[in-house]
Structure formats: structure tokens, C-alpha cells
Structure 1
Amino acid sequence: MTTDPMTTEQSILLEIADGVATITLNRPDRLNSFNDAMHEALRQAIATARGDASVRCLLLTGAGRGFCAGQDLSDRKMAPGSEGPDLGATIEANYNPLVRTLRTLPMPVVCAVNGVAAGAGANIALACDIVLAARSASFIQAFCKLGLIPDGGGTWSLPRLVGHARAMGLAMLGDKVPAEQAEAWGMIWKVVDDDRLMEEAGRLARHLATQPTHGLALTKQALNASSTNGLDAQLDLERDLQREAGRSRDYREGVAAFMEKRTPKFEGR
């Protein structure tokens, strides 16, 4: 199935083809920074992708020269002497649901970071399952420069990806992390030359869409739980999820294909 790119106020593009839903953040004049309308458009796009039975992988990227600069601060102008906006309400309504959705979406989520990923934009990328970055891309925890804390799950994901010391330094100093350094630190999966980023990300997403995606969703669930589970709880979870995986059509197809020495045809069920 292929759909024409759909837009909601042009801030989000969605294209579905070859089992992959490609979602593009599309406010390039604002470095794809988020406002409320863009959050709503992204929610709609993800819901459309999730509701389409042909979609077995989601690919997230940005238009123009940057992936996402986080929150559009022009939406947060404060009058002199005012108390200021309730940023907690914005997080509760927009960023927290988005991160939870990406982490729990029952399919692989690939992120192609095509330029700067700053603030919440960096942490949204890190909430995805497999992150590719252009060689010229960078990640910046810019919150400290505004007197804020990392949100978008940053205080959770950073120490788990790069360790406590590096997470603390990144959060308190706001240093730019070039893509190659992010790869070396284990923050992302792979660095790709700029002119090959979308080709490589598309190839990876299309490959994942042909795999036993029900089992991949269970793998994602297990790995995400491992950071807070003790060993006994994780072993029990592996037992339960493996029981479910063993009853899937994809498992039966995988075994049959192995025995018959042929390429399996997985359905994601």
C-alpha cells in the first residue's frame, strides 16, 4: 500500500509504502521545533500508521537541515512580570505521551537524525528503537542553557545509554555531541554519510518490515523492561513473552522455512 504524503498544517508528513510508515517532521524553517499543532499532527500520523495493518515498521526523520530543535520557544513568550507558562502541563499533554508511544509501539521504530537534534528533539530520537545519524548530525541537551532540566525522557535514557558521568556532564554543560561520538558512546546505532542517510534508513526499515515483527515487538518490550526489572522479574517476563512468541504464526513459519531450507515469509502475527 502506498499513500500520498499527508499533511496537517504541513507540519507532519506521512507516507506509507512497503510496510513502512515514514513520518517526517516538517517545519524546516523552525528546525522542526514543536508547537502544539505539530504535536497533534504527529499524534494523528502515528495513530494512522498504527491502525494500518500493512505497516510493520515506523521511520521518523526531519525535513531540511535539522532533525528537531525541541520546543518552539516562540510559543512560550512571557509577559514581563508574569509567572510564566506551566511547562509541566506541556510535558504531560505532549512530550510524555509521545515518548511512551514510541517506546511501546508494537513495531520497530527507526529514527534517521539528519542534522541537529537538540533539547526534546534529541531525547525523542533517543526514545526510538534504532537510531541512525548523518555524519554531520549532532545531539545537544540544551535545557541547561535555559534553566531547565532534560525532558522527553532524557533523564531516564541518557544514563542508561552513556552512563551516569557522561549523562551528568551532557545535562549540566549542554555540550554538542557529534554523531560519531554518539556512536562511539553507544548513544545511537550507526553513523551514515549524509548523502546516504535516508537510503540506509529506508533500507533498514524495509528489512525490519519483512521480519517477524510480532517477535520484534516482544523483544522491544523485554529490553525496555530490563532496565527496571530485577533478574527474577526479567526471567519471568522472558518466559511469558517467549510463550506468546511460540504461539505466533511467524514462529511456525520460521521453523517451517528452516526445515524446508527456504526463505521465510513472515506476516508479523
Structure 2
Amino acid sequence: MSYENIRLHVADGVARLTLARPAALNALSRALLGEFIDALDVIRGNDAARVLLITGAGRGFSSGADLSSGGSPAGSAGFDAGQVLEEYYNPLIERMFDLPIPIVAGVHGAVAGAGCMIALSADIVVAARSAFFLQAFVNAGLVPDAGSMWLLPRLIGRARAQAMMMLAERLSAEKAAEWGMVYEVVEDDALADRVAAIADRLARGPTRAHALIRRGVRAALDSTLSETLAMERAAQREAGASEDFREGIAAFREKRRPQFTGR
């Protein structure tokens, strides 16, 4: 699994995907986005991967879209700013939400633009104290994308989301945790160990139940209570038919730690 703009390694149930353009603050070029999409497809087809851990190399997680003169056609005659969404960002975000394994993101430094949304699309986000979150689209005369308008109001409410998107002000890691954008904040030198521990725990967990939780939460965000209750019933039936459920019950009765296999 060799890429030029990302790194991907799968071991012990954990797929580790690292944004690897540190000299460009991991700016999201089309080449990087294409590799990211390909990696998500590889992970989806790899039964050994039971959790995805996303991090960024260098001084920050990601500075957002690559708008540099050499890396983007932005500003050229006839440029369609929506095309890159259709071809890259939208398929990437959809793949992240549809992935049948949990996603953990460990972020530090700049977490900006579409890079912010890639991070926040994870199930569990841990931020280093150096992290800052920024919806920078309006600084370039653009609107927030990569799911910003769908996800941010659901995470932090309409008022905060619109202010964040319209004012393009930095949000500290501590404020992001206070607002419910991230799970927790840790010191920078503790970030790698913390997200690795969370990923390892999820990799040993009931993978099918994790998938059903991910799918159910997404569906419930746009469902009525009655629809959600029916969805939970169907998901519980599926989870209850799994080997991991039988193992969980056996472990509970035998007073031991369950050994889930993800089946």
C-alpha cells in the first residue's frame, strides 16, 4: 500500500492513515484526496482492519484545500469550484460515514477548512492542545463544504456554526471541547499514545456493533423518534445474531473479559 501523499499501514486490527504532505501543512491536493479515497476503499475491503486512525504528519493536521498556484486550477478561466467537491470531497466524506468500522482522529496544529471536516467526520476526535479549528472558506470568497453545513450545526448548534463559518475565526482546542466538537484535549506529547490506545480498544471490540452504531447515529440525525426506535429494533436484531454478542454474554456469565472477533 504505497502512496505519495498519505501513509497507510494496517496491523493488529488498526488501519493507520497519515496525511503526509508536511511541507505543505498537509494541504488537500487532488492527488492526496484521490489517494485518501483509494485508501478508504482498501480499508473497507480489508477484513483485518477493525478501526481507522487518522492523523497528520508535521506541524499540523491539515491547512485545508490546496489553493497554491502550482497545486490547483483555482482562479483560472472557467474554473468550476464545485467540480472538486463532486469528484473528490463528497465521495471522500460519504465513504468515511459509510465505513463499517469506527474512525478515530488525532489532530494537532492547524485543523482548517475541509481538513476540519475530515477530522470531525471521525467518531472520536482527540485534539492536542496546539490544535485550532478554522472554517476558512470565506477568506477565499467561498462557502463551507465537505459536509460543513450538515455536520457543524448538528455538533455545536446553528448560532455557533454560522458564526464560525462566517467570521472565519480560530477556535482553540479547549473551546472545541467545550462546544462538543471533540471528545477530549490532551497535551501534544500525549496525543499519539492517547489515540493509539483508543484505536487499540476499538480494534478489540465488537466490530459489527460499532458499524451498526455508526449507521444508526447517521440515520437518526434525520429521523423521527418512531423511525429511530424502529431502526434500533432492526439493528439490535442484527447485533443479537452476531458471534460477538454470544461471546459477550458468555464472558459476562463467566466473569471474564470478552474476546471479540468482529463477527
Q: Same fold (TM over 0.5)?
A: yes
Does 2:120 match 1:123?
A: no
Task: Kindly indicate whether the alpha-carbon contact (under 8 Å) linking 1:103 and 1:129 is maintained by their aligned counterparts in 2.
Answer: no
Paired residue for 1:196?
A: 190
Does 2:220 match 1:226?
A: yes
Matches within 5 A, 1:99-178: 99-178=93-172
**How many percent identity over aligned positions?**
48
Looking at structure 1, the residues matched to 50 and 88 of structure 2 have their Cα atoms a distance apart, in angstroms, of: 24
Does 2:181 match 1:187?
A: yes
Looking at structure 1, the residues matched to 132 and 256 of structure 2 have their Cα atoms a distance apart, in angstroms, of: 42
Matches within 5 A, 1:245-260: 245-260=239-254
Paired residue for 2:3?
A: 8
Looking at structure 2, the residues matched to 66 and 109 of structure 1 have their Cα atoms a distance apart, in angstroms, of: 19
- 1:13 is displaced (CA, Å) by 0.2
When normalised by structure 2's length, the TM-score is 0.96
Looking at structure 2, the residues matched to 77 and 92 of structure 1 have their Cα atoms a distance apart, in angstroms, of: 15
Task: Kindly indicate whether the alpha-carbon contact (under 8 Å) linking 2:74 and 2:81 is maintained by their aligned counterparts in 1.
Answer: no
CA deviations 1:26-78 (Å, max 9, x no partner) are 00111101111111211222222222211100000100001011110021343
Task: Kindly indicate whether the alpha-carbon contact (under 8 Å) linking 2:37 and 2:95 is maintained by their aligned counterparts in 1.
Answer: no
Gaps in structure 2 of 5+ consecutive residues: none
Looking at structure 2, the residues matched to 113 and 247 of structure 1 have their Cα atoms a distance apart, in angstroms, of: 36
Paired residue for 1:65?
A: 59
- 1:140 is displaced (CA, Å) by 0.1
1:20 to 2, 10, 14: 14
Task: Kindly indicate whether the alpha-carbon contact (under 8 Å) linking 2:37 and 2:91 is maintained by their aligned counterparts in 1.
Answer: no
Paired residue for 1:3?
A: none
2:73 to 71, 76, 95: 76
- 1:238 is displaced (CA, Å) by 0.5
Task: Kindly indicate whether the alpha-carbon contact (under 8 Å) linking 2:40 and 2:96 is maintained by their aligned counterparts in 1.
Answer: no
- 1:169 is displaced (CA, Å) by 0.4
Gaps in structure 1 of 5+ consecutive residues: 1-5
Amino acid aligned to 1:7? S
Amino acid aligned to 1:242? Q
Looking at structure 2, the residues matched to 242 and 18 of structure 1 have their Cα atoms a distance apart, in angstroms, of: 27
Paired residue for 2:199?
A: 205
Does 2:35 match 1:41?
A: yes
- 1:109 is displaced (CA, Å) by 0.2
Looking at structure 2, the residues matched to 178 and 78 of structure 1 have their Cα atoms a distance apart, in angstroms, of: 31
Looking at structure 2, the residues matched to 172 and 104 of structure 1 have their Cα atoms a distance apart, in angstroms, of: 29
SS in 1 for 2:55: strand
CA deviations 1:194-234 (Å, max 9, x no partner) are 00101100010000000111101101111111110011111
Task: Kindly indicate whether the alpha-carbon contact (under 8 Å) linking 1:109 and 1:130 is maintained by their aligned counterparts in 2.
Answer: yes
Task: Kindly indicate whether the alpha-carbon contact (under 8 Å) linking 2:59 and 2:108 is maintained by their aligned counterparts in 1.
Answer: yes
- What is the CA RMSD across the aligned residues, in angstroms? 1.0
SS in 2 for 1:131: strand
Looking at structure 1, the residues matched to 127 and 73 of structure 2 have their Cα atoms a distance apart, in angstroms, of: 29
